[in-house]
Amino acid sequence: MDEKEAQKEILRLRREINYHNYRYYVLDSPVVTDAEYDRMLRRLEGLEARFPGLIAPDSPTRRVGAAPLSAFGTIRHTTPMLSLGNAFTQEEAREFDDRIKRLLKCATGTKIEYAAEPKMDGLAVELIYEDGVFTKGSTRGDGYTGEDVTQNLRTVRAIPLNLLPAIRDTGVKPPAYIEVRGEVFLPLAAFRKVNKEREARGEPLFANPRNAAAGSLRQLDPRVTAERPLDIFCYGVGMVEGASFKTHFESLEYIRALGLKVNPMVRVVEGIDAALEYHDTVEKKREGLGYELDGVVIKVNGLALQERLGTLTRSPRWALAYKFAPRQESTTVKDIIVGVGRTGALTPVAVLEPISVGGVTIERATLHNLDEVERKDVRVGDTVVVQRAGDVIPEIAGVLKERRPRGKELEQFRMPDKCPECGSTVERVGALHFCTAGLLCPAQLKESIRHFASKRAMDIEGLGAMHVDQFVDAGVVKDVADLYYLKKEKILKLERWAEKSADNLLNAIDKSKRPALERLIYGLGIRGVGEHMARVLADRFGDLKSLMEATIEELLETYEIGPETAQSIVDFFRERHNREVIRKLEDAGVAFPKKTREKRGTLAGKVFLFTGTLESFSRDEAKALVEAEGAEGATGVSKKVDYVVAGAEPGSKYEKAKEMGLKIIDEDEFKKMVGRQA
Ligand code: IVH
């Protein structure tokens, strides 16, 4: 295929893929299978790798892989991104309606036409499309200037890189220029998953999905953003060239026709009564949506009327956020118990007088760690305010100190110095306390087996938490490898097992013997190694044996591995017990697969060495750039190095490379190779 044919095919594939992306992420109604979609994407990747000159920033292959930044640029909003006045009660909402009618000098009995919308609880962004292509995206910032988060927004699949009329004949032309405003959010399922992973790594948890969305979007490394399945609903239009509207609702219909995602619950209602009813209807649906709402937004629908009403400094007079009642209640703390997790981390949990919060009964709330208990000063006997953050995880918002019984001192919580599960010594590491018994502690053992068998690790179907408890308590499973030595007769001796269920379980265990390398690594439960890190390690080391023998220095050579994780990996494999378990796994016939390095990207398989000071990038940035294109950064001069990139004042490595006759390039040449020419 020559370049011209490739160009044609690439354009066709991009349109096709973009369209299927729209069907999947915006309409939620795909018309091809995942496999077909993947095939198209692979084919496009292949062609772009062969003809790197044809790569364009709006290609669907470019969603991920942009290099980390050292800081965000700023973008000035052409029209300010305002915030909204709030109402918490029906009276306040009626006052808003009265004020509007007064300002517009309406005859008594007039009903104002409102657009009524769910108020998503995320982070406001502005997307700019020029001739149908997504060119810039920013956060709200202070309303006038926001941060340039274009690369991160590109990773959000529900944000089209090309507007629909630019990829399909829809009978309309894409506007020459349009600013679209919307709310980026993290769906609840993804929020829970992110927090679970953070917990496993001992990292601080996000308090709610909004913080998680903000943390994900305001990431200097777009690859981290790409791993969080952010979503968006668009709710407004800023400046636009090539289209005009009479009502706000019309503008939403217009952007919907452009392929942007608009919340399906948006309505036009007549008069405030209907708007109040809308509020109540949406509040009832709130639980089942899979994402957080914190109220509804009521907007005067007519744009001419909006114009007449005008805006105050920070918020328009024509719109109102009518919030839902906060899901908070007060109750008393009956006890503070301490649980032990997979990594041995001790977690204080408040046992509460059961209370219903927004229809869900809450009996426990996590207190995360000792610092948190001390900061909030929660004590047994206290009256506390509990809230449901992110819809699920109950949390203690604060203590009602004035309700503390007078004259009777409540005892301060103390972390036990012995593990509540096994009695071993407890050790403090940073904010966390750990049981030091490792897998000899039955609580840790159970959690680690559950983790090993879980869907995203070895995926042993049908091995539930209760079974794990049963096997460990009966002493038939003492480590994860024992699962592969389970005998049917032994299982049948335990309560509630029958021929059929035992057969099913043994089959499932057998089926799990050929895991992908990253799942096996993740399943081992190394502290600091979540799913993402497991993938990084699998890519970098290719098989378990090489990873087991890796030194700290070798681990640190990989861009994403920090000193703490490197240490924890080395410690894990140094531990005799762990090596023993791995040997037992191998003996039982668990395959230790190899992973071939991903040969994707324009620089696939190449090795780069940097020496001297580069003008436009830090060493880490340059390394990340080549890694994003499938290449690798080296730390020393060797024959494996394909390119030595020499910046200003290169050191001894430069001399050595020259001696060895390696290919040396300067910063300009390097920039061309990674598509960063000025
Ligand atoms: S309209 C001038 N509509 O709420 C109108 N905002 O408190 C400004 N939000 O910054 C915003 N859903 O982040 C609007 N349907 C919706 C919204 C919405 C969520 C957020 C947005 C805004 C904040 C204002």
Question: Does some domain include residue 595?
Answer: no
Same domain, 506 and 630: no
**666 — pLDDT class (breaks 50, 70, 90):** very high
Percent of the chain at pLDDT exceeding 90 = 63
Question: Does some domain include residue 45?
Answer: yes
Read off the pTM.
0.61
Residue 531 near residue 456 (C-beta atoms within 8 A): yes
From ligand 1's centre to the CA of 183, what distance in Å? 7
Same domain, 350 and 396: yes
Range of the domain at 202: 91-323
Place of tokens 């290719």: 542
Closest residue by Cα to residue 412 from 433, 383, 387, 381:
381
DSSP strands (E only) in 47-148: 74-76, 85-87, 113-120, 123-130, 133-139, 145-147
User: 79, 96, 181, 235: which to mutate for ligand 1, most atoms within 8 A of CB?
Assistant: 235
Q: Total domain count for the chain?
A: 6
- Closest CA to ligand 1's atom 12: 119
Question: Does some domain include residue 81?
Answer: no
Q: Three-state SS for 613?
A: strand
Cβ neighbours of residue 236 closer than 8 Å, sequence gap 6 or more:
180, 181, 182, 248, 251, 252
- Kindly tell me if the per-residue pLDDT of 108 is higher than 90: no
Distance from C-alpha of 306 to C-alpha of 299, rounded to nearest angstrom: 9
How crowded is residue 31: how many other Cβ atoms within 10 Å of its Cβ?
A: 11
Q: What is the pLDDT of residue 485?
A: 96
Cβ burial, residue 516 (10 Å; 0-12/13-18/19+): middle
Atom index in ligand 1 nearest the CA of residue 124 equals 13
- Closest CA to ligand 1's atom 13: 124
Residue 646 near residue 653 (C-beta atoms within 8 A): no
Q: Where are the alpha helices (DSSP H) in 51-202?
A: 90-103, 150-154, 164-167, 188-200
- Kindly tell me if the per-residue pLDDT of 605 is higher than 90: no
Same domain, 307 and 348: no
DSSP strands (E only) in 201-258: 231-241
**CB of 140 shorter than 6 A to ligand 1:** yes
Q: Three-state SS for 325?
A: coil
- Closest CA to ligand 1's atom 17: 119
Cβ burial, residue 53 (10 Å; 0-12/13-18/19+): exposed
Distance from C-alpha of 482 to C-alpha of 445, rounded to nearest angstrom: 12
Write the single-letter amino acid at 117: E
**CB of 117 shorter than 6 A to ligand 1:** yes
Average pLDDT over residues 195-219: 83
- Kindly tell me if the per-residue pLDDT of 600 is higher than 70: no
State pLDDT tens for residues 447-473.
999 999 998 899 999 898 899 999 999
Structure tokens at 305: 């009327």
Same domain, 108 and 227: yes
Cβ burial, residue 461 (10 Å; 0-12/13-18/19+): middle
**CB of 318 shorter than 6 A to ligand 1:** no
Q: What is the pLDDT of residue 207?
A: 73
From ligand 1's centre to the CA of 298, what distance in Å? 10
Same domain, 172 and 271: yes
Average pLDDT over residues 520-542: 89
Residue 138 near residue 50 (C-beta atoms within 8 A): no
Average pLDDT over residues 72-86: 92
**644 — pLDDT class (breaks 50, 70, 90):** very high
Cβ neighbours of residue 364 closer than 8 Å, sequence gap 6 or more:
349, 350, 351, 352, 394
Instruction: Give the CATH number, domain containing residue 312.
Output: 3.30.470.30
Which residues are marked as active site? Answer: 119
Instruction: Give the CATH number, domain containing residue 492.
Output: 1.10.150.20
Give 62's Cβ-side CA count (13 Å radius).
Answer: 19
Distance from C-alpha of 382 to C-alpha of 466, rounded to nearest angstrom: 33
Closest residue by Cα to residue 208 from 227, 226, 190:
190
- Closest CA to ligand 1's atom 21: 124
From ligand 1's centre to the CA of 119, what distance in Å? 7
Mean pLDDT estimate for the chain: 90
DSSP strands (E only) in 341-439: 346-357, 360-366, 383-389, 393-399, 426-429, 432-435
Distance from C-alpha of 169 to C-alpha of 191, rounded to nearest angstrom: 37
Length of the chain: 678
Instruction: Give the CATH number, domain containing residue 611.
Output: 3.40.50.10190
**CB of 121 shorter than 6 A to ligand 1:** no
Same domain, 532 and 485: no
Instruction: Identify the domain boundary among 290, 305, 323.
Output: 323
Closest residue by Cα to residue 24 from 35, 39, 34, 10:
34
Hey, CA dihedral for 431, 435, 438, 444, is it positive or negative?
Answer: negative
Residue 144 near residue 120 (C-beta atoms within 8 A): no
C-alpha distances (whole Å) from 62 to each of 151, 222, 540, 599 are 9, 11, 22, 16
Instruction: Identify the domain boundary among 292, 323, 354.
Output: 323
Identify the residue with better confidence: 589 or 630. Answer: 589
Atom index in ligand 1 nearest the CA of residue 315 equals 2
DSSP string, 252-272: HHHHHHTT----TT-EEEEHH
Q: Three-state SS for 602?
A: coil
Instruction: Identify the domain boundary among 587, 615, 639.
Output: 587
Place of tokens 């497991």: 534
Question: Does some domain include residue 619?
Answer: yes
DSSP strands (E only) in 314-382: 319-323, 328-340, 346-357, 360-366
Instruction: Give the CATH number, domain containing residue 402.
Output: 2.40.50.140
Same domain, 318 and 453: no
**CB of 252 shorter than 6 A to ligand 1:** no
Same domain, 425 and 522: no
**CB of 316 shorter than 6 A to ligand 1:** yes
How crowded is residue 569: how many other Cβ atoms within 10 Å of its Cβ?
A: 24
**65 — pLDDT class (breaks 50, 70, 90):** low
Average pLDDT over residues 297-320: 94
Atom index in ligand 1 nearest the CA of residue 119 equals 12
State pLDDT tens for residues 558-580.
767 888 899 999 999 998 889 99
- Closest CA to ligand 1's atom 11: 83
Same domain, 39 and 56: yes
Question: Does some domain include residue 76?
Answer: no
Same domain, 317 and 297: yes
Same domain, 467 and 503: yes
Question: Does some domain include residue 593?
Answer: no
Instruction: Give the CATH number, domain containing residue 32.
Output: 1.10.287.610
Question: Does some domain include residue 627?
Answer: yes
From ligand 1's centre to the CA of 88, what distance in Å? 16
**517 — pLDDT class (breaks 50, 70, 90):** very high
Distance from C-alpha of 292 to C-alpha of 269, rounded to nearest angstrom: 23
Question: Does some domain include residue 339?
Answer: yes
Same domain, 471 and 424: no
From ligand 1's centre to the CA of 124, what distance in Å? 7
Label residues 109-141 b or e (16+ Cβ within 10 Å = b): eeebbbbbbbbbbbbbbbbbbeebbbebbbbbb
- Kindly tell me if the per-residue pLDDT of 364 is higher than 70: yes
